[in-house]
Amino acid sequence: TVRASSIGDSLMAKYLLEQVHARFPHARLGLVVASRGGMIRDLLAAYPWIEVVEANRRHPGALWQFIKNFWRSDLGVTQYTGGVLNLSTKLIARLLTRRGGLIGFVDRSPLNSLIYDTLLPHHERAGVPRLLECSALAAAGIPVTARMTFKYLPQPGLLERLGLQKKNYVVVGLFSGADARGLSPQRKQDLVDALVQSLPQEVFVFIGTKTERQKLLELRLPKNAVIADTSVQEAAALIDQASAMVSLGTGTSHIASHLRVPLCVLVACQGLQWVGTDQYGNAPMQVFCRPEACPGGHDYSTYGPCINAVDFDAVAAAAAGYVTGVQKGAL
């Protein structure tokens, strides 16, 4: 299966591949990304039967090895997208997959009917990723046997290294990888202030990339705050042992949902299909978004209005409810 080089997309690819693995435990299974292969391998380190392949035109050797290893595959699945999937990706998938075995999703390309054996519908806002994966599995005749879960490798000594105690801290993710889906610097500070006011004694653990961790230093954080420098596997263990997580909708929030850690998630209106019961069932989650702030569809010209308009006092109250055990209905 070919996917975007992100944690969320790769977790959905894992969901598809583990259903194939359950039905055909000896099949060779590959997840192909164009970049950040090291990060995705770290993410899926507890799944040794998934081969993560980073293949792109800048590394023709790796691309050739990929083609050699997966020549005449029985099943190929390309990713769903709100735009148009790259033609070269489709052609390589066609080259590698036996006739009858290539599954894709409708986009605006007029060539799809010439490339795919099975084309499945996809509507950007209604396209719940888990349901799209299930439709691809159904088209391949493979039953879905499990809800979405996630495994990570043991991380002994992690909490001790960071000075933390299990279930006695809240993980906070203030970044989403793109300003258009994120908070302005002032609103990041407002969210931190609201959390501290609702949970004045709680330890807050802030996570992010190296660049994002540098930006955290520009905020006014509580004295007992921890800025955690972790691998993806360590981040998963850190989230799993937290009392709750507060995050923008991003890769680590998807990890929390897979692990069923209580989550307060702020989501841009264009990404609402990635949260909710159709995606994660009854996972403990409260979703915050103000889609009416983007009346013409998501506004990509600035920091996401639909996220920045969220009531952070409500977010903080929901987080406090998870921490104290006094939970209210999802928003």
55-109: per-residue pLDDT in tens? 888 878 888 888 999 999 999 999 998 889 999 999 999 999 999 999 999 999 9
- Between 146 and 320, whose confidence is greater? 320
Tell me what the mean pLDDT of segment 295-314 comes to: 95
- 177-198 residue pLDDT tens: 889 999 999 999 999 999 999 9
Cβ(78)–Cβ(117) under 8 Å?
Answer: no
Inform me whether the pLDDT recorded for 146 exceeds 80: no
When pLDDT is cut at 50, 70 and 90, the band that residue 14 belongs to is very high
Q: What percent of the chain has pLDDT over 90?
A: 89
- Answer whether residue 126 shows pLDDT above 80: no
> In angstroms, what is the C-alpha Rg of the chain?
20
pLDDT at 200 over 70: yes
Q: How high is the pLDDT of residue 64? A: 87
Higher pLDDT, 127 or 195: 195
pLDDT at 255: 98
The mean per-residue pLDDT over the stretch 168-181 comes to 94
Mean pLDDT (the chain, rounded): 94
Residue for token digits 């909708």? 249
pLDDT tens sequence across 241-281: 999 999 999 999 999 999 999 999 999 999 999 998 999 99
pLDDT at 57: 80
pLDDT value for 147: 85
Q: Give the contacts of 48 (CB within 8 A, at least 6 positions apart).
A: none
Maximum pairwise Cα distance, the chain: 61
Predicted TM-score (pTM) above 0.85: yes
pLDDT band at 329; cut points 50, 70, 90? very low
